[in-house]
Amino acid sequence: MIRWEVKRIKDIAIKVGSGSTPRGGQKVYMEEGPYALIRSQNIYDYEFKKDGLVFIDEEQAKKLKNVALQENDILLNITGDSVGRCCIVPKEILPARVNQHVAIIRVDENTNPHYLMYYLNDTRNKEMLLNYVHGGTRKALTKGIIEDFEVKIPSLEIQNKLADILSTYDSKIKLNLKLNQTLGEISMTLYKHWFVDYGPFQGEEFVESELGMIPKGWKIKKLAELVNTQYGYTESATEKKIGPHFLRITDIQDRFISWDKVPYCPIEEKNYEKYKLNKGDIVIARTGNSTGAVGYINSNIEAVYASFLVRLTPKTDYLSPHFLYLLTTSKEYQLYIERAGTGSARKGANAKLMTNYFVVIPPKEIMVAFHKKVDNIFEKIEKNIWENINLKNIRDYLLPRLLSGEIDVTKAKKHVEEVL
């Protein structure tokens, strides 16, 4: 029988604190630098995302030395819509600091930080923590709320076992994400080799064009000649399963969609048919800091997309959706969107701008050959995405049952060995 003690976080933590925005704000942020500055957009449940990670110099870091991160520190979002999201700081991004929207929790030697991270991510515990959130219009967790939050603590031995069991799933999830990143890089390398450097066609005759020398028989077309565009559906998202998935800009950070994180929306049948996403569709963000972000629908799923997204669909079967995805995620296209985007105060790009882009199009047989060459890569990526969804579901099933003692840690460990 596991013996649990109830303790407040301040009884098991040697540090709880948040940082601040460096003087000068975004003007002092760097794409590379000696110190990472972690913000709320980097922190998700169980995982840290490097997308949007910024850096600061030595001088700014000194001013934030009170929130210098250490290995195994817990990161907790404390303001805004992402309040309560929680993960462990990755060792590879150290040295680092946090801004005022992120709290550090550093535990004592008798507490496994991964155990506490899992405890805070448990749905029931997260709901309890968020019940204390202050602020009518802006959600916020104060240092006092965090320190006074009660946690059920078993022996360190049991903490370690629980953390090991759950982290096994997370390790496999991270491995699949890394594999997908590598597969994505391979597919982009092939795209550039074929359609930017024209590597396989160097022995053929080349001709002059408005985009430079291209293989004879290839054509220059505007993207608007090749795709149809459509703006998305306007509705409020909900976590309740009352309709199809409702894809938003915030759901396409990783380009390939992880559907377990996408909310739902109510929608009438006629509108569902109009906005239903199909395999091979491309969606592009048209507003805000994510303007130009691309999502690829690589499986058939009941889903529609939000109004801040523009859907691109090939006008004919001749245009490979894999080609279209790699084109829109290429550095050249993304740079075009960045430079041509409208709005000085607010970034943006409408459908006309998105498709007012000249593309070098190969003959049909070459397009078909390229699609076949990369199709297996895209299938592997999709397989890994769905495997991760399954792994997350198992982890999230085990988590509350392990924390409550309903499932014995030794039995759970055996189950993990069978699954993985």
Residues 135 and 235 in one domain: no
Tens-place pLDDT, residues 189-199: 999 999 999 99
| pLDDT tops 60 at residue 73 | yes
Q: Give the model's confidence band at 416: pLDDT under 50 very low, under 70 low, under 90 confident, else very high.
A: low
The values of phi and psi at residue 214, to 5°, are: -135, 160
Question: 123 and 227: one domain?
Answer: no
**76 CA to centre of own chain:** 17
Element housing 419 (H / E): helix 409-419
3-state secondary structure at position 311: strand
The predicted pLDDT at position 252 comes to 84
CA count, 13 A, side-chain hemisphere, 163 = 20
User: Which of 361, 376, 398 is a domain's end point?
Assistant: 361
- 109 belongs to a structural domain: yes
Residue 312 is assigned to a structural domain of this protein: yes
Q: Is the dihedral of CA 328, 329, 330, 335 positive or negative?
A: positive
Task: Please give the mean pLDDT across all residues of the chain.
Answer: 91
Residues 144 and 264 in one domain: no
Longest dimension (CA), the chain: 79
In a domain, 420, yes or no: no
Residue 332 token pair: 């050249």
Look at the alpha carbons of 254, 255, 260, 265 in this order and tell me if their dihedral is positive or negative.
Answer: positive
- Cis amide bond preceding 34, omega within 30: no
Looking at the structure, do residues 41 and 148 belong to the same domain, yes or no?
yes
Q: Quick one: 140 and 280 in the same domain?
A: no
Last residue of a domain, one of 342, 361, 380: 361
pLDDT value at residue 8: 96
pLDDT of 407 reads 86
Q: Is 207 among the domain residues? A: no
Query: In terms of domains, do 225 and 350 share one?
Result: yes
Shared domain for 29 and 119, answered yes or no, is yes
Enter the pTM of the model.
0.85
Domain boundary among 129, 154, 179: 154
Q: Does residue 399 lie in a domain region?
A: no
Same domain, yes or no: 142 and 229: no
Burial 24-62 (b: 16+ CB within 10 A, else e): eeeebbeeebebbbbbbbbbbbbbbeeeebbbbeeebbe
In a domain, 175, yes or no: no
Q: Which residue is associated with the tokens 């078909």?
A: 368
Would you tell me how many other CB atoms lie within 10 Å of the CB of residue 370? 20
**Cα 313 to Cα 279: distance, rounded to the nearest angstrom:** 10
Residue 388 forms part of a structural domain: no
Give 414's pLDDT tier (boundaries 50, 70, 90). Answer: low
In a domain, 199, yes or no: no
Query: For residue 245, what are the CA distances in angstroms to 262, 375, 382, 401?
Result: 6, 25, 17, 28
pLDDT of residue 27 exceeding 80, the answer is no
- pLDDT, tens only, 98-147: 999 999 999 999 999 999 999 999 999 999 998 887 655 567 899 999 99
Number of domains observed in the structure of the chain: 2
CATH assignment at residue 335: 3.90.220.20
Query: Which residue spans within 177-257 are E strands per DSSP?
Result: 206-207, 214-215, 219-222, 227-231, 245-247
> Who contacts 233 (Cβ-Cβ below 8 Å, separation ≥6)?
246, 265, 267, 271, 274, 275, 304, 305, 306, 307
Residue range 272-295: average pLDDT? 93
pLDDT in tens, 30-68: 889 999 999 998 999 999 988 889 999 999 999 888 889
The boundaries of the domain holding residue 82 are 5-154
Tokens of 180: 């997908």
Band (pLDDT 50/70/90 cuts) for residue 23 is confident
Residue 77: pLDDT over 80: yes
